[in-house]
Amino acid sequence: MLPSLHDDFLVSYEVNCETRQIKIRAKRDPRIPAVNKEQLTRIIVFNGVEGYQFENDAFGNIISSLETISVEKLLAEYGSRIAESYHWAGAPGPWAADLSSAPQVLAAKGVQGFVLSSSYGLSGWVLAKEALVEPA
């Protein structure tokens, strides 16, 4: 289960195309009491990434939530933009050539949907096999 990132500050995100991994580093608001230092910074790692899109980086982003959703729900919400991206750039991958069969293709790979929402700034989605918390 993913931790709540509500009102955390987005410190950075890193996309490793070779390993198909994305890391998001978030820092808690220092005004909110923490039990220990480990709770101040969290790194969420997405492994087995099949596609993603982030937008509106405001270089001072405040996260509202990071939630797991079904691939079907993600494709219903972002499918038209995925189709356009595939048409123009071949992104996010061959599975996007036919969005009607994409849920089955992605399910066979064990892919889940993740949506990053913000109160201010960066938001987007990730399709990946897993998301886990890495020690900071």
Q: What is the pLDDT of residues 20-79, one digit of tens each?
A: 999 999 998 777 766 555 568 899 999 999 999 999 999 999 999 999 999 999 999 999
How far is it, in rounded angstroms, from Cα 110 to Cα 22? Answer: 17
Say whether pLDDT at 11 is over 60: yes
Show Cβ contacts of residue 6 under 8 Å, excluding neighbours closer than 6 positions.
Answer: 63, 64, 65
The four Cα atoms 75, 69, 16, 123 give a dihedral, to 10 degrees, of: 80
DSSP category for residue 39: G
Express each pLDDT in 69-79 by its tens digit: 999 999 999 99
Beta bridge partners of 120: 62
Residue 98: its pLDDT value, please? Answer: 95
Tens of pLDDT, residue by residue over 83-101, are: 999 999 999 999 999 999 9
Which residue type is seen at 87?
Answer: H
